[in-house]
Structure 1
Amino acid sequence: MESQEPNVTSSTSMPLMYSNRMMLKTILESSDGEMGLIGKTVVVGGWVKSSKEVKKDPVPSPPAAADAFPVSQRPKDVTCVEILQSRIPFFRTIIRVLGGSASSPAVREKLESLIPKPPPPSTFFLQINDGSCLSSLQVVIDSAKAPVSAGQILPTGTCILAEGVLEKPSAHGKRTIELKVEKVLHVGTVEQDKYPLSRKRLPLDSLRDYAHIRPRTTTVASVTRIRSTLDFATHTFFQNHGFLLVQLPIITTTDSEGFSEKFLVTTLLGKTSKEEPVGVSDADGVSLETVKASIKDKSSLFEQLKRSDSDKELLAAALQDLRKTNELARQIEAREKSKPVTAVKHDLVNLNEDFFGRPSYLTVSGRLHLESYACSLGNVYSFGPRFRADKTVSAKHAAEMWTVEVEMAFSQLEDAMKYAENYLKFLCSWILDNCSEDMKFLSKRVDKTVTHHLEYLTLCSYDKISYREAVEILRKVTDKAFETQLRWGVPLTAEHLSYLADDHYKKPVIIYDYPKAVKPFYVRLNDDEKTVAAFEMVVPKIGTLITGSQNEERFDMLNTRIKEFDLSRDQYEWYLDLRRHGTVQHSGFSLQFDLMVLLTTGLTDVRDVIPFPRSHGKANN
Structure 2
Amino acid sequence: MDPHTRDEQKHHDVGPANPVPLSKYSNRVELKTLLERSDGGAGLVGERVVIGGWVKSSRAVKKDSPPPPPLPTLRDALSGGGRSYPVFEKPESAGLKAAPAPPPPSYMFYFLISDGSSVSSLQVVVDSALSTLPATQLMSIGTCIVAEGVLRHPTVASAKHAIELKAEELLHVGTVDPEKYPLSKKQLPLHMLRDFSHFRPRTTTVASVTRIHSALTLATHTFFELNGFQYVQVPVITTTDAEGFGGMFRVTTLLGKTTAKEEEKHAKEKDEISLDAIKTAIKEKSKRIEQLKRTESNRDALVAAVQDLKKASDLAAQMEMRQKPRAGTLVKHDKFDVTKDFFGHETYLTVSGRFHLESYACALGKVYTFGPRFRADKIDNGRHLAEMWDVETEMAFSELDDSMNCGEEFFRFLIKYILENRSEDMKFISKRVDKTIASRLEAVASSPLSRLSYTEVISLLQKATSRKFETKADWGVALTAEHLSYLTDEVYKGPVTIYNYPKSVKPFYVRLNADEKTVAAFDLVVPKVGVLISGSQNEERFEVLDSRIKELGSVRERYEWYLDLRRHGTAKHSGFSLRMELMLLFATGLPDVRDAVPFPRSWGKANN
TM-score (norm 2): 0.81
Residue 219 of structure 2 aligns to a residue whose secondary structure is helix
In the alignment, structure 1 residue 52 sits paired with structure 2 residue 59: yes
2:13 to 7, 10, 33: 7
Q: Which amino acid counterpart does residue 536 of structure 1 have in structure 2?
A: D
Q: Which amino acid counterpart does residue 52 of structure 2 have in structure 1?
A: G
Taking a change above 3 Å as real, the CA distance of residues 485 and 131 of structure 1, as seen in their structure-2 partners, is: same
In the alignment, structure 1 residue 135 sits paired with structure 2 residue 120: yes
Query: CA offset at residue 463 of structure 1?
Result: 1.2
Give me the whole-angstrom Cα distance separating, in 2, the residues matched to 1:288 and 1:38: 66
Give me the whole-angstrom Cα distance separating, in 2, the residues matched to 1:567 and 1:348: 19
Query: CA offset at residue 119 of structure 1?
Result: 3.3
Say if 2:262 and 2:334, in contact at 8 Å, map to a contact too: no
Give me the whole-angstrom Cα distance separating, in 2, the residues matched to 1:532 and 1:579: 18
1:361 to 348, 356, 366: 348
Give me the whole-angstrom Cα distance separating, in 2, the residues matched to 1:346 and 1:366: 33
In the alignment, structure 1 residue 197 sits paired with structure 2 residue 183: yes
Q: Deviations over 1:57-76 (max 9, x none)?
A: 49xxxxxxxxxxxxxxxxxx
Residue 405 of structure 1 aligns to a residue whose secondary structure is strand
Q: Deviations over 1:488-532 (max 9, x none)?
A: 111111111111111111121111110111110110011111110
Residue 129 of structure 2 aligns to a residue whose secondary structure is coil
Query: CA offset at residue 435 of structure 1?
Result: 1.3
The aligned residue for residue 23 of structure 2 is: 16
The aligned residue for residue 154 of structure 1 is: 139
Q: Which amino acid counterpart does residue 208 of structure 1 have in structure 2?
A: R
Say if 2:40 and 2:163, in contact at 8 Å, map to a contact too: no
Structure 1: 5+ residue stretches without partners:
59-108, 282-286, 296-332
Give me the whole-angstrom Cα distance separating, in 2, the residues matched to 1:123 and 1:55: 6
Give me the whole-angstrom Cα distance separating, in 2, the residues matched to 1:158 and 1:145: 16
| Identical aligned residues as a percent | 59
In the alignment, structure 1 residue 350 sits paired with structure 2 residue 350: no
Give me the whole-angstrom Cα distance separating, in 1, the residues matched to 2:174 and 2:499: 56
The aligned residue for residue 181 of structure 1 is: 167
Q: Larger Cα Rg: Structure 1 or Structure 2?
A: 1
Residue 615 of structure 1 aligns to a residue whose secondary structure is coil
Say if 2:178 and 2:185, in contact at 8 Å, map to a contact too: no
Give me the whole-angstrom Cα distance separating, in 1, the residues matched to 2:355 and 2:128: 64
Taking a change above 3 Å as real, the CA distance of residues 588 and 165 of structure 1, as seen in their structure-2 partners, is: same
TM-score (norm 1): 0.79
Give me the whole-angstrom Cα distance separating, in 1, the residues matched to 2:256 and 2:333: 12
The aligned residue for residue 253 of structure 1 is: 239
Aligned pairs for 1:306-455 (under 5 A) are 347-455=334-442
Q: Deviations over 1:75-108 (max 9, x none)?
A: xxxxxxxxxxxxxxxxxxxxxxxxxxxxxxxxxx
The aligned residue for residue 298 of structure 1 is: none
Query: CA offset at residue 252 of structure 1?
Result: 0.5
Query: CA offset at residue 346 of structure 1?
Result: 7.6
4+ aligned runs moved over 2 Å, structure 1: 1-5, 7-13, 30-33, 116-119, 144-149, 270-281, 345-348
The aligned residue for residue 83 of structure 1 is: none
Q: Which amino acid counterpart does residue 459 of structure 2 have in structure 1?
A: E
1:120 to 105, 115, 124: 105
Taking a change above 3 Å as real, the CA distance of residues 171 and 280 of structure 1, as seen in their structure-2 partners, is: farther
Give me the whole-angstrom Cα distance separating, in 2, the residues matched to 1:288 and 1:25: 53
Aligned pairs for 1:206-605 (under 5 A) are 206-273=192-259, 276-277=262-263, 347-605=334-592
Q: Which amino acid counterpart does residue 504 of structure 1 have in structure 2?
A: V
Give me the whole-angstrom Cα distance separating, in 2, the residues matched to 1:618 and 1:271: 26
Taking a change above 3 Å as real, the CA distance of residues 148 and 591 of structure 1, as seen in their structure-2 partners, is: same
In the alignment, structure 1 residue 164 sits paired with structure 2 residue 171: no
Residues paired across the two proteins, number: 521
Q: Deviations over 1:233-268 (max 9, x none)?
A: 111111111111111111101111123310111111
The aligned residue for residue 37 of structure 1 is: 44
Q: Deviations over 1:114-133 (max 9, x none)?
A: xx975321100000101111
Taking a change above 3 Å as real, the CA distance of residues 198 and 264 of structure 1, as seen in their structure-2 partners, is: same
Say if 1:143 and 1:149, in contact at 8 Å, map to a contact too: no
Query: CA offset at residue 288 of structure 1?
Result: 9.5
Say if 2:130 and 2:170, in contact at 8 Å, map to a contact too: no
Q: Which amino acid counterpart does residue 235 of structure 2 have in structure 1?
A: P
